[in-house]
Structure 1
Amino acid sequence: MTRMIKGLLFDLDGTLVDHETAAATAFATALTAVTGSAGVDHETARRRWSELEHHAMDRYLAGELTFAGQRRLRITTLVAELGLGIWDEQKADAWFAGYLRHYESAWRAFPDVLASLGALTEERPELRLGILTNGEAGQQRDKVDRAGLSAALPVLVASSDVGVAKPEARIFHLACEAIGLLPSEVVYVGDRLDTDAAAASAAGLLGIWLNRAGTPARTELPVVRTLRELPALLTELTSDG
């Protein structure tokens, strides 16, 4: 498969920034501040927190909840399930503010990101690079800044800015417009097979699945286990040989 590749867009959370580790670290710290939490199985609570995050974010992206509303839903649901009380919005917001401070301080790029971006820009300086992410634009831009990725990835398109979210084709097309290219000229790399790689390909881009965990799945799309494999894969995809 030979393709003219002029641009490369990345997902953010789980692809460039280690959201799961940051969220787990922040939750472990913030939960200890909750009265009665000493008797809670913290690992079970953490797993449930992650489930609630995905559920609430899906509802936010579907327009069913505000960004603040999905945050409140996550913590009020969890503490009720853990038998830690019924919280009002004020108490939920106060707890989440503390959680957020810990979460932000734990933002880190994955170890393979900076070296891979450096290799890409050295080997293919003509590539136009950017980020396409679901989520609230202000928070996502702060995340990119704190992870030290702003210089390498100057363009960021967030679902809150454009009013549509992945896996809808429209957001992929808007991101291509933001870097001044046609979808057929752009590669999209993300850690979720359906929402990222498959959705990008359905929108006319070339989707690449970043399968860091080595999760078994049947797909004809290109797959990498680490971003270090990306430069060689792009060379293969653009080679006539």
Structure 2
Amino acid sequence: MSYRKKRPSKKKKKVKRDFCGDPFRMTSSSASYRAIFFDAGGTLLKPQPSVGEVYARVAEKYDMSVDHQEVERVFRQKFTQRDHAAASLSHTTPKEEKAWWHSLVLEVFQTVTMVKNFEPFFEELYDLFARGEVWTVYPEVFAMLASLKEKKMILGVVSNWDTRLPQICDQLKLASFFDFIIASVAVGVAKPEAGIFKLALERAGVRKHEALHVGDSIENDYLGAKRAGLDAVLIHREAGEPPQVPFIRSLSELLTWSKRTPAD
């Protein structure tokens, strides 16, 4: 009788997985991609002055005196609740998009003050946010985009926004950096639905594994892109506890980005 030595069993390496159950692809840098897609609000640009300050300034004209810090606090709370819960259909037609904002702003002001003259107030506010004068670009954005264009990267904007987004990007001197700008209302599909990411891939002329999507919403940007088969990273500028997904603190990190997890 012969005895065979037992071969030691190989231990399987544990692979950290994201929320979608797919292992993180270990990407060395942005050079591994041919295209990068960006969310707009909270990623490339933000209101300036703050939402609360703009709302309070316009409200004063319509006999509503409010504290801009309280408006800002309530706005962020209500926006987050609605953005997480809203069906993507809320951002797919001009009528639905405007109705979504009308309902949000009304709820904010019903929370902080006695509402007066709301309809003309909202119309002025809605028109105001179509202009570049109340938006500003994050400090690192222009240098980052210029560097990516030098690397011959295909760049696109993929945002839950109305048809005014290209106009705003143009006024802020952003539009020239991008090969295309996709606003959900203009194309009839919104994040986190896979269709808007597939459209971006078609516009860029690249395959799923060749594209990275960057945004500030875990649900709409990170998970939406991952479910559509793209790679994704969250832009998380706030201090405090980091998110449980790969993230960056500044868009300039994209130039030499390797996946960053909460343990790093």
TM-score, normalisation: structure 1? 0.80
Q: What is the distance in 1 between the residues matched to 2:170 and 2:103?
A: 28
Following TM superposition, by how much is the alpha carbon of 1:93 offset from its aligned partner in structure 2, in angstroms? 3.5
> Contact 1:129–1:154 at 8 Å: present in 2 too?
yes
Q: Secondary structure at the match of 2:164?
A: helix
SS in 2 for 1:207: strand
Distance 1:191 1:215, change over 3 A: farther
Of residues 73, 97, 103, the one that matches 2:123 is: 97
| Structure 1 counterpart SS, 2:137 | coil
The one-character-per-residue Cα deviations of 1:192-220 (angstroms, maximum 9, x if unpaired) are: 22321232122111101111114524535
- The Cα shift of 1:131 comes to 0.5
Residue number among 143, 148, 151 corresponding to 2:176 in the alignment: 151
Aligned: 1:71 with 2:101: yes
Give unmatched runs, 5+ long, in structure 1.
none
Larger Rg: 2
Size of the aligned set, in residue pairs, is 226
**Equivalent position SS for 1:25:** helix
Identity %: 25
* CA distance in structure 1 between the partners assigned to 2:243 and 2:113 by the alignment: 41
Residue of structure 1 equivalent to 2:213: 188
Closer/same/farther in 2, CA of residues 31 and 60 from structure 1, 3 Å limit: farther
The verdict on how the C-alpha distance between 1:219 and 1:83 changes in structure 2, with shifts beyond 3 A counting, is closer
Instruction: Identify, as 1 or 2, the structure richer in helix.
Output: 1
Cα offset, 1:130, TM superposition: 0.7
Letter of the 2:190 partner, please give it: A
5+ residue gaps in structure 2?
1-25
Does 1:62 pair with 2:83? Answer: no
User: Is 1:119–2:147 an aligned residue pair?
Assistant: yes
Alignment of 1:226 onto 2:253: no
What amino acid sits opposite 2:146 in the alignment? G
The answer to whether the Cα contact below 8 Å between 2:36 and 2:212 also exists between their aligned partners in 1 is yes
Q: CA deviation at 1:59?
A: 4.3
> Over residues 75-125 of structure 1, what are the superposed CA-to-partner deviations in whole Å (9 max), with x where a residue is unaligned?
43344344524x6xxx43421233245543221111110011111122x12
Please state how far the C-alpha of 1:16 moved relative to its aligned partner.
0.4
Give me the CA root mean square deviation. Answer: 2.8
- 2:192 partner letter: P
Is the Cα contact below 8 Å between 1:187 and 1:205 reproduced in 2? yes
Which is further off, 15-24 or 144-153?
15-24
| CA separation of 1:80 and 1:227: change in aligned 2, threshold 3 A | closer
Q: Which deviates more, 160-169 or 171-180?
A: 160-169
On the 8 A contact 1:14/1:20 being kept in 2, the answer is no
CA distance in 2, matches of 1:188, 1:157: 13
1:216 aligns with 2:241: yes
Q: Is the 8 A contact 1:17 1:147 kept in 2?
A: no
Aligned-partner SS, 2:189: coil
**Letter matched to residue 62 of structure 1:** L
Per the TM alignment, residue 180 of structure 1 is displaced from its structure 2 partner at its CA by 1.2
